[in-house]
């Protein structure tokens, strides 16, 4: 995935009301841009840190740009636009980079399924046998570790998705939880049981039921993002 037109750079002044961020450009101009991340963005940003944003030419938009990448307090880069994760995964699926899911004959997005009114990110067809793939974007890192964690805030919706995947696995269907790690300098992923123990327990339970738990890392800079490697998932005891 290449950013076109190229991202512009600024420095973060503040993020507020979840969806707004004030930044300062190298010229001294200040802008308010859209923050496309509903999470806590824990360890993803700091006042005065570098940010990169895409600018919109749509006259109907209230804000001139969208925050895409953040410099973290640990000096990493994080793609904080959670909407990018599914597009990155689809790109990688079609390119055969995610080898565990290679060879599908059809791909459908946002398919309704389950007993709790869920929508799966991807349904892949393999000679008539589907695989259900739920994608989560991971951006939570720590200064003293190369292991990233998910989630960065309590997520009842995330736990619901794991329950739905576990039910599919019990029915003999192929169910996959895929973590797209949009953070540089990461070598593994774990559930953030220190933040959301219920989600961590749901992940372990889903894995025990046969849900495949995968994680893939990205190569990330201001020019573009690409999924490029498999990462281990550490399920804490």
CA 96 to centroid of chain Cα atoms: 19
Residue 237: predicted pLDDT: 67
* pTM of structure: 0.95
Per-residue pLDDT of the chain (237 residues; tens, 9 = 90+): 999 888 999 999 999 999 999 999 999 999 999 999 988 999 999 999 999 999 988 888 899 999 999 999 999 999 999 999 999 999 999 999 999 999 999 999 999 998 888 999 999 999 979 999 999 999 999 999 999 999 999 999 999 999 999 999 999 999 999 999 999 999 999 999 999 999 999 999 999 999 999 999 999 999 999 999 999 999 976
Domains of the chain by start residue, with CATH: 8-73 (2.40.50.580), 84-231 (3.40.1350.60)
Residue 115: predicted pLDDT: 86
Residue 193: predicted pLDDT: 95
Q: Which of 116, 119, 234 is nearest to 179 (CA)?
A: 234
Distance between CA atoms of 118 and 107, rounded to whole angstroms?
18
159 and 166 Cβ atoms separated by less than 8 Å: no
């Amino acid at each position: 995935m290449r950013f076109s037109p190229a991202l512009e750079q600024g420095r973060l002044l503040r993020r507020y009301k979840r969806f707004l961020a004030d930044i300062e450009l190298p010229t001294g101009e200040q802008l308010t841009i859209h923050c496309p991340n509903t999470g806590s963005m824990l360890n993803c940003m700091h006042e005065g840190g570098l940010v990169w944003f895409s600018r919109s030419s749509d006259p109907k938009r209230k804000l001139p740009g969208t925050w895409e990448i953040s410099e973290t307090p640990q000096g990493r880069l994080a793609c904080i636009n959670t909407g990018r994760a599914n597009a990155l995964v689809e790109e990688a699926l079609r390119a055969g980079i995610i080898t565990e899911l290679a060879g599908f004959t059809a791909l459908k997005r946002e398919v309704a399924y389950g007993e709790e009114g869920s929508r799966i990110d991807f349904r892949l067809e393999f000679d008539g046998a589907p695989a259900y793939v739920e994608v989560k974007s991971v951006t939570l890192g720590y200064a003293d570790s190369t292991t990233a964690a998910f989630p960065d805030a309590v997520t009842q919706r995330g736990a619901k998705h794991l329950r739905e995947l576990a039910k599919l696995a019990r029915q003999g269907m192929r169910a996959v939880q895929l973590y797209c790690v949009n953070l540089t300098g990461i070598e593994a992923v774990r559930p953030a049981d220190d933040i959301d123990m219920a989600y961590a327990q749901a992940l372990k339970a889903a894995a025990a039921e046969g849900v495949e738990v995968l994680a893939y890392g990205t190569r990330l800079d201001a020019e573009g993002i690409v999924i490029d490697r498999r990462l281990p998932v550490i399920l804490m005891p």
